Each structure stands twice: as C-alpha cells, then as structure tokens.
Structure 1
Amino acid sequence: MNVHLCFHGIGRCAREREPGESGYWVARDEFLRILDDVASHGGVALSFDDGNRSDVDVALPALKERGLTATFFPLAGRLLDPLSLASDDLRLLRDEGMTIGNHGWDHVPWRRLSPADAHREFVESRNVLEEAAGAPITTVALPLGQYDRRTLKRLRHEGYRTVYSSDRHPARDRAWLSARYSVGAGDDVGSVRRILTNHAGAREMRNVISSSVKRMR
C-alpha cells in the first residue's frame, strides 16, 4: 500500500475562483517543512491539482532541492489565466522530470455530465494539455473528488491508465483507481506525519468503504 499526498496551492490564495478554494492552500513555510518530512520518510507519491502558479514558483524548486518528483494536474481551461500555469510551464515541468496529467477543462464535478461535456472534460482537455506539454497524458485526477460508476466507465473507455481520487486512504500498488490524501490550510507537518506513519486507522477504513460505494452508485 502507498500513501499519495495531493496539494493544490502554496502560499496565499490571491483570488478564489470557487467558494472555499483558499482552504486548500498551504502556507509556503509549512509546505517546505512538509516536503522535508516527506523526503526523509521516502516512498510517498506527490501530486498538485488545479495548475496554480505556485506549482512552478514554489513547488518545482522545492522538489528539485530535495530530489523529489511529482505529477501535476492542470486545467486546460486555465492555461491563459495569469494566476495559473501556462503552456510553457507544462513543458518546463516535463523538462525537470515531472509528469503532467489531466484535471479536465473547467474544474466541475464529473458526475452526470452530458456526452458533450464529458468529451470536453475527458478528451478535449487532454488534447490541449498534451500539445502544451509535448507528451502523451495517461493519468487523470477527479475534480472535487466526485465520481460514480458511469464516470469511471467513461474514463476507462478513453484509455486513462490511472485515475486519482481524493478518498483519503492508502492506495494499492498499481491500482487503476488510486486514492490520495489532500493537504489543505488546516494541515501542518504534524498532521501529515500522522498520515505517513499511521494510515490504517478506522477513519481510513471508512474512506475505503465510501470509495466502494462511489464506484457502485
């Protein structure tokens, strides 16, 4: 079983593009302390959702300093947003040994999408991000942690090799649907260390059951 930590923004959220977004941003100094702990622990997967500018301004140099790699999941619809990653940033991340995945177009829930919206979120967004990154994209992260059986069926049909959720429990090795722990404003190095060292408790087991329900509904 593996632990996968997911970050969204580092520093201060300059402008919320959706309600509650600032709650998923981690203070810069705390983020660096968390990375130091991750580097000493070893064997922890890292990813960054939403494609905020802090991915290249803060996260990338910090990862390089510690010899860490991560997967970045930007939004195709925000590549021209000055607060977000641009096409050149995706190529830079790749050149520095990072992986680019797909997080969709508009950061909307993927349950009950119309066929046209599903094509935009699953296919068109991937095409745009692949062109920007200069490499195939085979992984996808579920926006807002929402999914159901129909969503997963569509993603499998589109050929994604790994789908990442935010279900907060350890992930099985090489699992197609792989859970992550989102790190937010309320976390610090202590709370993250508890995830890394004690991640088989009752809460995680409840999250495993919740994930099973989502896959079946």
Structure 2
Amino acid sequence: MPRLIGLNFHGIGSPARELEEDEAPYWLSETQFTEILDRVAASPDPSAFVLTFDDGNLSDYEIVLPALIQRGLTARFFVLTGRLDEPGSLARDHVTALLASGMGVGSHGIDHVAWSDLDAAALEREIVQSRDALQTLCGHPVTDAGIPFGKYNARVLRALRRNGYRTAFSSDAGYMTDTAFLRPRTSLRGDMTQAEIGAICAGRMPAVRRLHRAAGMIKKRILPLR
C-alpha cells in the first residue's frame, strides 16, 4: 500500500481573530504557505501528499482555497463548529464553497479542547454534535475527524469508531496509509526552516524519532483499556 505524507496547516497570513495560547507558532505567512504548495505541486506525485487544515480559520477560504485551486490540489478542512460564523473563522457559506470546489470537510469538534482530557459525556458531545452540525450543513455523512492538538488515547479512538467515523487524523508525524483508521500528520509551524520543511516533505525522519513515534502511537492506541 502506498505511503502518504500528511501535511497539516492551521492559519495562513494575518489572524483575523484573537488567538488562543500557543496558537501563534502554527500560523504561516502567505509566502511560506505558497512555497510549500508549490513544492507539493511540482513533486513527481502530488497525490502522495495529504493536505489538511485545522480549526476553520477564515484564511482557509480567503487564502487557502484559491491557492489550492490554482495548483490543482485538494485538501481536507477540519472545522470547529463552535466557531462557525464567528469573526475570523469560516462562515457556513464558506464551508459549502469548499465542498463545491471539491474539498473535503471533517470534524474538529465544537470547542478547541483536547479530547483525551474530557469525560465520556463531554467527549460524546464534541464528536457527535459537531458531526451532526456538519452533516446538516454538508448534506452528506461526515466521517473524518481531525484530533485537536493531536491529543488522543484508546478511549477517544473507540468513541470515534463507535460514532461512525472512518478516519482519525492525528499529529504523530511520519507516513500514513489511505486504508488506516488512524492517520498521522505533521503540523507545520511558522518558525520551521526551509531545511526542516524539506525533510518533512521528503518523508525523512531520524531513526530514533521513528522509534519514539511508533512506541508512542502503540501506547496511545491501547491505553486506557476502558
């Protein structure tokens, strides 16, 4: 099965809303972003890259969508339904425009919270109500989830499967396959060097980090047992 490289983005350009703590490093300049897209588009096989966007920022519509269309690329957008129609975030009309342009839409929850920190009732609310709101908006089943902050455990994965999700995108970095339920991505940051971005796009990861990643993913997928 082919190995795919997941590149995850958050905001592009100047934020049009007040950022939460620790969000700012994950915003890229428009120049940084378009250089990465150009690298993907010019690669021997652009389909080997899976592009995703978290949080539902307004830049997804104003900057990202035109840039993707210009280069013939597609992406998945993981939307926080609690931010829909809020200043600086996607409006409902923007989400339907993404879909009409051939993009995918998935759930990032309602609020920007770590799912692994929630009790059972709050977790169900985040993943079920957000999915239902998006399905009403999109007019078709929503089966992809982008895990906020990349924080998950076995309980989160079980809840996603139980509620009809077919894929869960994490932030574990490294390769993914298009048949797996859990699909790792690398979240790009504005402070990354060209060399670091180049290594990510080439799928290069030091052996020690690969081992730590594999061990961490195994642990998160099996614990807690209940």
| TM-score normalised per structure 1 | 0.95
Of residues 92-101 and 203-212 in structure 1, the stretch that sits farther from structure 2 once superposed is 203-212
The structure 1 segments of at least 4 consecutive aligned residues displaced by more than 4 Å after TM superposition are none
Match of 2:188 in 1: 183
Match of 1:97 in 2: 102
Identity of aligned residues (%): 42
Residue 213 (structure 1) aligned with residue 219 (structure 2): yes
Runs of at least 5 residues in structure 2 that lack an aligned partner in the other structure? none
Q: CA RMSD in A?
A: 1.4
Deviation string, structure 1 residues 15-57 (Cα, Å, up to 9, x no partner): 4442011111001011001100011122211000000000010
SS in structure 1 opposite 2:217?
A: helix
The question of whether the paired residues in 2 share the 8 Å contact of 1:30 and 1:188 is answered with no
Aligned partner (choices 37, 40, 46) of residue 38 of structure 1: 40
Match of 1:204 in 2: 210
Distance 1:117 1:17, change over 3 A: farther
Of residues 168-177 and 11-20 in structure 1, the stretch that sits farther from structure 2 once superposed is 11-20
What is the rounded CA distance, in whole Å, between the counterparts of 2:96 and 2:140 in structure 1? 9
What is the rounded CA distance, in whole Å, between the counterparts of 2:75 and 2:169 in structure 1? 13
Aligned partner (choices 145, 155, 162) of residue 157 of structure 1: 162
Match of 2:128 in 1: 123
Q: How much does 1:135 deviate?
A: 2.4
Distance 1:123 1:31, change over 3 A: same
Distance 1:130 1:173, change over 3 A: closer
SS in structure 2 opposite 1:152?
A: helix
Runs of at least 5 residues in structure 1 that lack an aligned partner in the other structure? none
Aligned partner (choices 166, 169, 179) of residue 174 of structure 1: 179
Distance 1:23 1:16, change over 3 A: farther
Aligned partner (choices 3, 13, 16) of residue 15 of structure 2: 13
Q: How much does 1:162 deviate?
A: 0.5
The question of whether the paired residues in 2 share the 8 Å contact of 1:169 and 1:205 is answered with no
SS in structure 2 opposite 1:207?
A: helix
The question of whether the paired residues in 1 share the 8 Å contact of 2:5 and 2:203 is answered with no
Match of 2:90 in 1: 85
What is the rounded CA distance, in whole Å, between the counterparts of 1:184 and 1:39 in structure 2? 20
What is the rounded CA distance, in whole Å, between the counterparts of 1:30 and 1:112 in structure 2? 33
What is the rounded CA distance, in whole Å, between the counterparts of 2:76 and 2:37 in structure 1? 15
Q: How much does 1:199 deviate?
A: 2.3
Q: How much does 1:187 deviate?
A: 2.4
The question of whether the paired residues in 2 share the 8 Å contact of 1:3 and 1:45 is answered with yes
What is the rounded CA distance, in whole Å, between the counterparts of 1:130 and 1:154 in structure 2? 18
Deviation string, structure 1 residues 118-176 (Cα, Å, up to 9, x no partner): 22201111111122223221100110110111111111101101000000111134110
